[in-house]
Amino acid sequence: MKEWLRDLSFEAGFDLFGCASLVLPPEDQKNLEAFGKGPLGDMRWFLDTLELRINPARILPGARSAVVLGIYYRDRESEEFHSSAAVRVSRYAVGRDYHRVLRKKGKELAVRMQQRWPQAKARLVVDSAPVPEKILGREAGLGWIGKNTNLIHPQWGSYFFLAVLLTSLDLPPDTPQPDLCASCRLCLDACPTDALQPYQIDPTRCISYLTIEDRSRLHPELDERRAGWAFGCDVCQEVCPYNRNRGARKGDTKEADFRLRPAVRNLMETGTLDGVEQWELLSQGSPLRRAGFERLKENLRLARLGPKP
Protein backbone atom coordinates (compact mmCIF):
# COMPACT_ATOMS: atom_id res chain seq x y z
CA MET A 1 0.00 0.00 0.00
CA LYS A 2 2.64 2.50 1.10
CA GLU A 3 5.07 1.52 -1.67
CA TRP A 4 2.30 1.94 -4.25
CA LEU A 5 1.58 5.45 -2.94
CA ARG A 6 5.29 6.31 -2.95
CA ASP A 7 5.71 5.23 -6.57
CA LEU A 8 2.56 7.09 -7.57
CA SER A 9 3.73 10.28 -5.85
CA PHE A 10 6.99 10.23 -7.80
CA GLU A 11 5.03 9.64 -11.02
CA ALA A 12 2.94 12.71 -10.17
CA GLY A 13 6.11 14.81 -9.94
CA PHE A 14 6.88 14.93 -6.23
CA ASP A 15 10.50 14.60 -5.09
CA LEU A 16 9.88 13.64 -1.46
CA PHE A 17 7.46 11.20 0.16
CA GLY A 18 6.91 10.07 3.72
CA CYS A 19 4.20 8.99 6.13
CA ALA A 20 3.50 10.14 9.67
CA SER A 21 1.07 9.57 12.50
CA LEU A 22 -1.38 12.39 13.19
CA VAL A 23 -0.63 12.28 16.92
CA LEU A 24 1.97 14.98 17.53
CA PRO A 25 4.76 14.35 20.05
CA PRO A 26 4.07 16.14 23.38
CA GLU A 27 7.11 18.41 22.91
CA ASP A 28 5.73 19.69 19.62
CA GLN A 29 2.35 20.36 21.20
CA LYS A 30 4.09 22.43 23.89
CA ASN A 31 6.12 24.32 21.29
CA LEU A 32 3.01 25.24 19.30
CA GLU A 33 1.31 26.49 22.46
CA ALA A 34 4.42 28.50 23.39
CA PHE A 35 4.57 30.05 19.91
CA GLY A 36 0.95 31.13 20.30
CA LYS A 37 1.87 32.97 23.50
CA GLY A 38 4.71 34.87 21.83
CA PRO A 39 4.66 37.92 19.56
CA LEU A 40 2.32 37.26 16.63
CA GLY A 41 1.69 40.73 15.22
CA ASP A 42 -0.88 40.41 12.44
CA MET A 43 -0.87 36.63 12.70
CA ARG A 44 -3.43 36.43 15.50
CA TRP A 45 -5.32 33.94 13.34
CA PHE A 46 -2.77 31.40 14.57
CA LEU A 47 -4.58 31.31 17.91
CA ASP A 48 -7.91 30.64 16.24
CA THR A 49 -6.53 27.46 14.69
CA LEU A 50 -4.16 26.32 17.43
CA GLU A 51 -6.31 23.40 18.60
CA LEU A 52 -6.47 21.98 15.09
CA ARG A 53 -2.70 22.36 14.64
CA ILE A 54 -2.15 20.38 17.82
CA ASN A 55 -4.76 17.77 16.81
CA PRO A 56 -4.63 17.62 12.98
CA ALA A 57 -6.72 14.43 12.88
CA ARG A 58 -9.73 16.63 13.66
CA ILE A 59 -9.41 18.27 10.24
CA LEU A 60 -10.60 15.04 8.60
CA PRO A 61 -12.81 12.87 10.84
CA GLY A 62 -11.47 9.33 10.79
CA ALA A 63 -8.01 10.34 9.57
CA ARG A 64 -5.20 8.11 10.84
CA SER A 65 -2.17 9.05 8.76
CA ALA A 66 -0.51 11.91 6.93
CA VAL A 67 1.19 11.42 3.59
CA VAL A 68 3.72 14.26 3.36
CA LEU A 69 4.89 15.24 -0.12
CA GLY A 70 7.63 17.61 -1.20
CA ILE A 71 8.75 19.29 -4.43
CA TYR A 72 12.17 20.93 -4.84
CA TYR A 73 11.89 24.48 -6.20
CA ARG A 74 15.44 25.79 -6.49
CA ASP A 75 16.14 27.29 -9.91
CA ARG A 76 19.67 27.87 -11.20
CA GLU A 77 18.82 31.02 -13.19
CA SER A 78 17.17 32.58 -10.16
CA GLU A 79 20.11 31.48 -8.00
CA GLU A 80 22.67 33.20 -10.22
CA PHE A 81 20.56 36.33 -10.66
CA HIS A 82 19.94 36.96 -6.96
CA SER A 83 23.43 38.26 -6.22
CA SER A 84 23.27 41.02 -8.87
CA ALA A 85 19.59 42.00 -8.62
CA ALA A 86 18.60 45.51 -7.53
CA VAL A 87 16.02 44.03 -5.16
CA ARG A 88 15.36 40.46 -4.13
CA VAL A 89 12.33 38.18 -4.18
CA SER A 90 12.28 34.95 -2.21
CA ARG A 91 13.05 31.96 -4.39
CA TYR A 92 9.70 30.37 -3.63
CA ALA A 93 7.93 33.33 -5.29
CA VAL A 94 9.87 33.76 -8.54
CA GLY A 95 7.67 31.28 -10.42
CA ARG A 96 4.04 30.22 -10.45
CA ASP A 97 2.04 30.08 -7.23
CA TYR A 98 3.06 26.78 -5.68
CA HIS A 99 -0.39 26.21 -4.20
CA ARG A 100 -1.80 25.66 -7.68
CA VAL A 101 0.99 23.35 -8.77
CA LEU A 102 0.93 21.17 -5.66
CA ARG A 103 -2.86 20.99 -5.58
CA LYS A 104 -2.98 19.68 -9.13
CA LYS A 105 -0.37 17.00 -8.47
CA GLY A 106 -1.73 16.11 -5.04
CA LYS A 107 -5.32 15.79 -6.23
CA GLU A 108 -4.17 13.33 -8.87
CA LEU A 109 -2.65 11.22 -6.12
CA ALA A 110 -5.77 11.49 -3.91
CA VAL A 111 -8.09 10.46 -6.75
CA ARG A 112 -5.96 7.45 -7.67
CA MET A 113 -5.78 6.43 -4.01
CA GLN A 114 -9.55 6.55 -3.58
CA GLN A 115 -10.07 4.63 -6.81
CA ARG A 116 -7.96 1.83 -5.39
CA TRP A 117 -9.43 2.01 -1.87
CA PRO A 118 -12.97 3.40 -2.32
CA GLN A 119 -13.71 3.39 1.41
CA ALA A 120 -10.68 5.51 2.24
CA LYS A 121 -11.17 9.13 3.20
CA ALA A 122 -8.68 11.69 1.94
CA ARG A 123 -8.13 15.43 2.11
CA LEU A 124 -5.30 17.29 0.43
CA VAL A 125 -3.91 20.29 2.29
CA VAL A 126 -1.68 22.91 0.67
CA ASP A 127 -1.83 25.79 3.16
CA SER A 128 -5.61 25.35 3.06
CA ALA A 129 -6.08 24.05 6.62
CA PRO A 130 -4.11 24.51 9.88
CA VAL A 131 -1.86 21.48 9.45
CA PRO A 132 1.60 21.58 11.14
CA GLU A 133 3.39 20.70 7.90
CA LYS A 134 6.96 20.97 9.15
CA ILE A 135 6.30 18.80 12.20
CA LEU A 136 4.55 16.17 10.10
CA GLY A 137 7.33 16.42 7.52
CA ARG A 138 9.93 15.73 10.21
CA GLU A 139 7.89 12.83 11.60
CA ALA A 140 7.57 11.46 8.04
CA GLY A 141 11.35 11.35 7.66
CA LEU A 142 11.71 14.31 5.29
CA GLY A 143 14.31 16.08 7.43
CA TRP A 144 14.79 17.80 10.76
CA ILE A 145 13.55 21.20 11.88
CA GLY A 146 16.68 23.31 12.02
CA LYS A 147 17.76 26.24 14.16
CA ASN A 148 16.20 28.54 11.54
CA THR A 149 12.86 26.70 12.10
CA ASN A 150 12.88 25.36 8.52
CA LEU A 151 12.57 21.70 7.60
CA ILE A 152 15.98 20.60 6.29
CA HIS A 153 16.52 17.41 4.29
CA PRO A 154 20.09 16.01 4.44
CA GLN A 155 20.33 15.74 0.63
CA TRP A 156 17.79 18.28 -0.65
CA GLY A 157 18.34 21.11 1.83
CA SER A 158 15.28 23.24 2.61
CA TYR A 159 14.20 24.65 -0.76
CA PHE A 160 11.14 22.46 -1.15
CA PHE A 161 7.38 22.92 -0.88
CA LEU A 162 5.17 20.67 1.22
CA ALA A 163 1.71 19.23 0.67
CA VAL A 164 -0.06 16.96 3.16
CA LEU A 165 -2.58 14.30 2.24
CA LEU A 166 -4.67 13.36 5.27
CA THR A 167 -6.13 9.87 4.99
CA SER A 168 -8.08 7.28 6.94
CA LEU A 169 -5.64 4.63 5.70
CA ASP A 170 -3.40 3.29 8.45
CA LEU A 171 0.05 3.75 6.91
CA PRO A 172 3.28 2.76 8.71
CA PRO A 173 5.11 5.96 9.75
CA ASP A 174 8.62 6.64 8.53
CA THR A 175 11.56 7.20 10.85
CA PRO A 176 12.43 10.84 11.66
CA GLN A 177 15.86 12.11 10.60
CA PRO A 178 18.41 13.08 13.27
CA ASP A 179 19.07 16.78 13.87
CA LEU A 180 22.31 17.60 12.04
CA CYS A 181 22.60 21.29 12.91
CA ALA A 182 25.06 20.44 15.71
CA SER A 183 27.05 23.54 16.77
CA CYS A 184 26.38 25.47 13.53
CA ARG A 185 24.84 28.91 14.00
CA LEU A 186 25.31 30.44 10.55
CA CYS A 187 21.58 31.13 10.14
CA LEU A 188 21.30 32.74 13.58
CA ASP A 189 24.21 35.09 12.94
CA ALA A 190 23.16 35.95 9.37
CA CYS A 191 19.58 37.07 10.07
CA PRO A 192 19.50 40.82 9.22
CA THR A 193 16.79 41.60 11.78
CA ASP A 194 17.82 39.28 14.64
CA ALA A 195 14.58 37.34 14.31
CA LEU A 196 16.13 33.99 15.22
CA GLN A 197 17.13 32.19 18.38
CA PRO A 198 18.02 28.48 18.24
CA TYR A 199 14.89 26.67 17.02
CA GLN A 200 12.76 29.76 17.66
CA ILE A 201 11.60 32.68 15.54
CA ASP A 202 10.07 36.04 16.36
CA PRO A 203 7.77 36.35 13.33
CA THR A 204 7.26 40.08 13.88
CA ARG A 205 10.96 40.66 13.12
CA CYS A 206 11.26 38.23 10.21
CA ILE A 207 11.66 39.94 6.82
CA SER A 208 9.22 37.49 5.25
CA TYR A 209 6.59 38.62 7.73
CA LEU A 210 7.51 42.30 7.33
CA THR A 211 7.14 42.19 3.54
CA ILE A 212 4.00 40.03 3.35
CA GLU A 213 1.94 39.86 6.56
CA ASP A 214 2.75 43.00 8.52
CA ARG A 215 0.06 45.66 8.65
CA SER A 216 0.62 46.97 12.17
CA ARG A 217 4.16 48.33 11.60
CA LEU A 218 5.37 47.20 15.02
CA HIS A 219 9.04 47.56 14.07
CA PRO A 220 9.63 50.58 11.78
CA GLU A 221 13.22 50.60 13.04
CA LEU A 222 13.78 47.48 10.91
CA ASP A 223 12.98 49.26 7.63
CA GLU A 224 16.65 49.81 6.85
CA ARG A 225 17.59 46.23 7.72
CA ARG A 226 15.64 44.50 4.99
CA ALA A 227 18.86 43.76 3.09
CA GLY A 228 17.33 44.36 -0.33
CA TRP A 229 14.36 42.01 0.09
CA ALA A 230 11.09 43.20 -1.47
CA PHE A 231 9.09 40.02 -0.95
CA GLY A 232 10.03 37.28 1.47
CA CYS A 233 13.58 36.48 2.58
CA ASP A 234 15.95 33.53 2.12
CA VAL A 235 18.97 34.63 4.16
CA CYS A 236 18.73 31.88 6.79
CA GLN A 237 18.43 29.32 4.00
CA GLU A 238 21.17 30.79 1.81
CA VAL A 239 23.83 30.37 4.49
CA CYS A 240 22.74 26.86 5.50
CA PRO A 241 25.43 24.30 4.54
CA TYR A 242 22.75 21.86 3.46
CA ASN A 243 21.62 24.35 0.80
CA ARG A 244 25.06 25.67 -0.14
CA ASN A 245 26.65 22.26 -0.49
CA ARG A 246 24.46 19.17 -0.74
CA GLY A 247 21.26 20.88 -1.86
CA ALA A 248 23.12 22.83 -4.55
CA ARG A 249 24.16 19.56 -6.18
CA LYS A 250 20.52 18.77 -6.91
CA GLY A 251 20.66 21.46 -9.59
CA ASP A 252 17.46 22.85 -11.08
CA THR A 253 13.92 22.06 -10.10
CA LYS A 254 12.32 19.73 -12.62
CA GLU A 255 9.09 21.74 -12.32
CA ALA A 256 9.05 24.39 -15.06
CA ASP A 257 6.40 26.42 -13.20
CA PHE A 258 8.88 27.17 -10.41
CA ARG A 259 11.51 28.74 -12.67
CA LEU A 260 12.18 32.48 -12.74
CA ARG A 261 9.45 34.33 -14.64
CA PRO A 262 10.50 37.16 -16.99
CA ALA A 263 8.20 39.64 -15.20
CA VAL A 264 9.76 38.80 -11.82
CA ARG A 265 13.25 39.02 -13.29
CA ASN A 266 12.43 42.50 -14.61
CA LEU A 267 11.14 43.57 -11.20
CA MET A 268 14.29 42.35 -9.46
CA GLU A 269 16.48 43.95 -12.11
CA THR A 270 14.88 47.41 -12.02
CA GLY A 271 13.53 47.53 -8.48
CA THR A 272 10.51 49.46 -9.74
CA LEU A 273 6.81 48.84 -10.29
CA ASP A 274 5.53 51.41 -12.77
CA GLY A 275 1.81 50.86 -12.88
CA VAL A 276 -1.20 48.60 -12.67
CA GLU A 277 -0.54 47.05 -16.08
CA GLN A 278 2.91 45.87 -14.99
CA TRP A 279 1.42 44.70 -11.67
CA GLU A 280 -1.20 42.55 -13.41
CA LEU A 281 1.43 40.93 -15.61
CA LEU A 282 3.70 40.38 -12.63
CA SER A 283 1.16 39.07 -10.14
CA GLN A 284 -1.08 36.87 -12.27
CA GLY A 285 -0.78 33.34 -10.89
CA SER A 286 2.07 34.47 -8.63
CA PRO A 287 2.62 34.45 -4.84
CA LEU A 288 3.44 38.17 -5.21
CA ARG A 289 -0.27 38.87 -5.51
CA ARG A 290 -0.60 38.32 -1.76
CA ALA A 291 1.25 41.56 -1.06
CA GLY A 292 -0.99 43.73 -3.23
CA PHE A 293 0.03 46.55 -5.56
CA GLU A 294 0.52 49.36 -3.04
CA ARG A 295 2.25 47.13 -0.53
CA LEU A 296 4.73 45.81 -3.07
CA LYS A 297 5.54 49.36 -4.20
CA GLU A 298 6.31 50.29 -0.59
CA ASN A 299 8.37 47.11 -0.16
CA LEU A 300 10.44 48.07 -3.20
CA ARG A 301 11.12 51.49 -1.69
CA LEU A 302 12.16 50.02 1.65
CA ALA A 303 14.27 47.31 0.02
CA ARG A 304 16.47 50.03 -1.48
CA LEU A 305 17.01 51.86 1.83
CA GLY A 306 19.53 49.70 3.59
CA PRO A 307 22.70 47.92 2.50
CA LYS A 308 22.53 44.59 0.72
CA PRO A 309 24.73 41.80 2.06
Residue whose C-alpha is closest to residue 91's, from 211, 230, 260, 214: 260
Helix and strand counts by DSSP (H, E) for the chain:
14, 10
Answer for the pair 266, 180: CB distance below 8 angstroms, yes or no: no
Cβ partners under 8 Å of residue 86, min gap 6: 228, 268, 269, 270, 271, 304
CA distances from 99 to 95, 128, 163, 233 (A): 11, 9, 9, 19
Enclosing H/E stretch for 230: strand 229-231
Q: Are 91 and 75 in contact (CB under 8 A)?
A: yes
Is 97 considered catalytic here?
A: no
Exactly one of 7, 42, 127, 194 is catalytic; which is it?
127
Q: Residues with catalytic annotation? A: 127
